[in-house]
């Protein structure tokens, strides 16, 4: 029995089909990898936006509560409402905590979670003290409030890191008017004094 070799045209066609299949497979894999990378980056950006907004909002609310505490009854209705609002901000964090895993920076994830837990404990204690029968002890409340204010100092560097991930700046929260703080207008060089 004699084997006949296929002609050169058939070999070229077969090689072209195999090469086309290989290129299609490789390009499909690369496209899927690129899409997964971009999707991951977008989820990380969304998580950074969410947590940066929550932390910035929490800082503004607690600074407002501190200013309200300095007027009239230290733990009157306005201060209490602000503390409840701060707790709601932490609730937003709690409801979205699984989004922390979208942040690739493990150190940032750990710092954020640690800060949220350390803020929640004294804040919950303050809120629970309002429902205590005798009205609670203002000295103990002041200590808890002072601890919260110390923790707030950790928020700006954290939001700066989140801002780099999200490609936004969260320092616009710092420019918001604060109760009890006199805002001075920025100098406008186009006006003549």
Digit-coded pLDDT (tens) for 135-183:
568 888 999 999 999 999 999 999 999 999 998 888 766 655 555 554 4
Determine, yes or no, domain membership for 127: yes
Domain of residue 110 covers 44-171
| C-beta separation of 53 from 171 below 8 A | no
Question: How far is the C-alpha of 193 from the C-alpha of 191, rounded, in Å?
Answer: 6
**DSSP type of residue 6:** P
The length of the chain, given as a count of residues: 193
**Please, are residues 63 and 86 in contact by the beta-carbon 8 Å criterion?**
no
Q: With left for phi above 0 and alpha for psi between -120 and 50, is residue 183 left, alpha or beta?
A: beta
* In a domain? residue 167: yes
How far is 90 from 121, CA to CA, in rounded Å?
A: 11
**In a domain? residue 37:** no
Answer whether residue 28 shows pLDDT above 70: yes
- Is 89 a domain residue? yes
Residue 71: pLDDT band with limits 50, 70, 90: confident
* pLDDT at res. 22: 87
For the entire predicted model, the pTM comes to: 0.73
In a domain? residue 12: no
**Number of folded domains in the chain?**
1
């Amino acid at each position: 029995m004699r084997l006949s070799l296929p002609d050169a045209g058939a070999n070229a066609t077969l090689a072209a089909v195999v090469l086309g299949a290989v290129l299609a497979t490789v390009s499909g894999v690369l496209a899927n990898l690129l899409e997964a990378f971009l999707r991951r980056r977008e989820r990380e950006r969304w998580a950074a936006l969410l947590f940066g907004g929550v932390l910035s909002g929490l800082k503004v609310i607690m600074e407002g509560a501190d200013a309200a505490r300095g007027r009239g009854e230290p733990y009157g209705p306005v201060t209490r409402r602000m503390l409840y609002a701060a707790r709601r901000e932490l609730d937003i964090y709690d409801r979205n905590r699984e989004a922390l895993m979208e942040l690739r920076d493990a150190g940032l994830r750990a710092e954020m979670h640690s800060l949220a837990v350390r803020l929640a404990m004294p804040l919950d204690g303050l809120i629970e003290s309002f429902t205590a029968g005798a009205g609670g002890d203002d000295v103990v409340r002041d200590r808890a409030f002072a601890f919260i204010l110390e923790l707030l100092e950790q928020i700006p560097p954290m939001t700066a890191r989140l801002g780099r991930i999200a490609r936004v700046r969260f320092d616009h929260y710092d420019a918001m008017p604060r109760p009890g703080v006199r805002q001075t207008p920025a100098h406008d060089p186009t006006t003549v004094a």
